[in-house]
Amino acid sequence: MVISELRNCPYCAGGSDVGDDFGTNLPGRDDKVRELTSFVLAHLEAGTCGSAYVSGPPGTGKTATLKSITSHPKVSSGYRIVYINCTGMRCSSAVYAEIAKRLGVRPAGSTRSEKSYLAAIENYLASSHKMILLVLDEMDQLESRNQSVLYTVFSWTTGDSGLVLIGVANALDLTDRLLPRIATRGGVQPLLVHFPPYTRNQIIDIVRTVLGDSKKGVTFGRGAVELLASKVSSVSGDARRAIDITRRTIDVALVDKHMGYAYATSQTLVSSGLLDAADSQGSASGGADSCFPLQQKLLVCSLLLIRHNSPKSKEVTVGMLHQVYQRVCERRNLSAVDLSEFVSLVELVEARGVMKIVGKTKNRLAKVGV
């Protein structure tokens, strides 16, 4: 029985009751929550504009932290919150139409161009309105050759626009490539907040806090949880991976329990399953002697498919490769990662020497070669 079937199993309704994020409980991120909450509330009380850039690898609690902050009573009541995930935008300037839609503003006349949406937004910001908290998740997807969209968005946080901007992305070097020019052009000095990978002890706390030591009669051995945390922290520090591995182990144990295996939820068996998953996590990180992980194989196959079908194509971007990869996964009934994690996947394959990313930028516009 595959995981997709487990999710639909009536006896595992809700599976192990574990979501893909951390809810309102953010072990190891109290300092980040306090810092960003103070930043947002300070601008609200003063009625001033401001900007912040939140960076860090996938699965380090960035998005969950922002969701926690936007649900704060003072923040949710004092601000008009506009939260946009920039993944999947057909082009960087398409974000203007989405922002205008969320603000409820329309371009003048019948024109629906990106420039008309931008003009409508700026007219709205120049008028009297409630303070706006604009959160752009996966902000690095708005990068373009001349960076005009990012410059424009950050420029809104000057003057009396009544807007506070928080950009979120994986790339730490975006600040080095972009922010000095922003400061020079518009005098914008964003607050920089970096989320480092979770440590072993933090991942142990997360697994125990979010899942609990026991779920529906499924008990985890302490050693198994600690080994899983060690494996994940040494590879990526991605707490979502640790939670996903644990959830899958619980799902399998619950199905076995329903099928009449009395030993299915014993600590020994479940711990063994968790250890096997932890070993898979460790080997999937890639050493020269490890097997080639399935997702990386799918990525390489997608690139070869593009080359085969379009031999004269000179450029293959990460965005184009991700679209083909999604179709390949869909046809094979496999789960596909989102664009943000796909960029990290490309970097892992690049580290193996199989392919290369041309240029310094690593987003959907980056070019990929063999």
* Residue 365's CATH number: 1.10.10.10
Could you list the beta-strand ranges (E) of the chain.
Answer: 50-55, 80-85, 132-137, 163-169, 191-194, 214-215, 218-219, 356-358, 367-369
DSSP character for 196? P
Nearest one of 61, 21, 24, 336 to 202, comparing CA atoms: 61
Give the mean pLDDT of the chain: 76
DSSP character for 9? -
| 108 and 78 belong to one structural domain | yes
Last residue within a domain, chosen from 252, 284, 316: 284
| 146 and 189 belong to one structural domain | yes
| 51 and 188 belong to one structural domain | yes
Tally of domains in the chain: 3
Last residue within a domain, chosen from 194, 214, 231: 194
Domain, as residue range, for 305: 294-369
Last residue within a domain, chosen from 231, 260, 284: 284
| 127 and 90 belong to one structural domain | yes
Which whole number is the average pLDDT over 308-316? 74
| 162 and 274 belong to one structural domain | no
Given a contact cutoff of 8 angstroms between Cβ atoms, the answer to whether 284 and 234 are in contact is: no
| 190 and 209 belong to one structural domain | no
pLDDT in tens, 11-32: 233 344 444 444 455 778 889 9
| 189 and 203 belong to one structural domain | no
* Residue 44's CATH number: 3.40.50.300
Question: Which residues face 192 on adjacent strands?
Answer: 53
| 57 and 188 belong to one structural domain | yes
pTM: 0.67
Which whole number is the average pLDDT over 304-320? 80
Higher pLDDT, 143 or 21: 143
> What does the alpha-carbon distance between residue 340 and residue 240 come to, in Å, rounded to a whole number?
14
| 43 and 62 belong to one structural domain | yes
Nearest one of 4, 11, 5, 7 to 264, comparing CA atoms: 11
- What is the helix (H) or strand (E) element at residue 299, kind and residue range? helix 294-309
> What does the alpha-carbon distance between residue 77 and residue 134 come to, in Å, rounded to a whole number?
14
| 318 and 203 belong to one structural domain | no
pLDDT in tens, 333-360: 788 888 878 888 888 777 767 777 876 6
Residue 25 lies in a domain: no
Q: Is the pLDDT of residue 311 over 80?
A: no
> What does the alpha-carbon distance between residue 326 and residue 329 come to, in Å, rounded to a whole number?
5
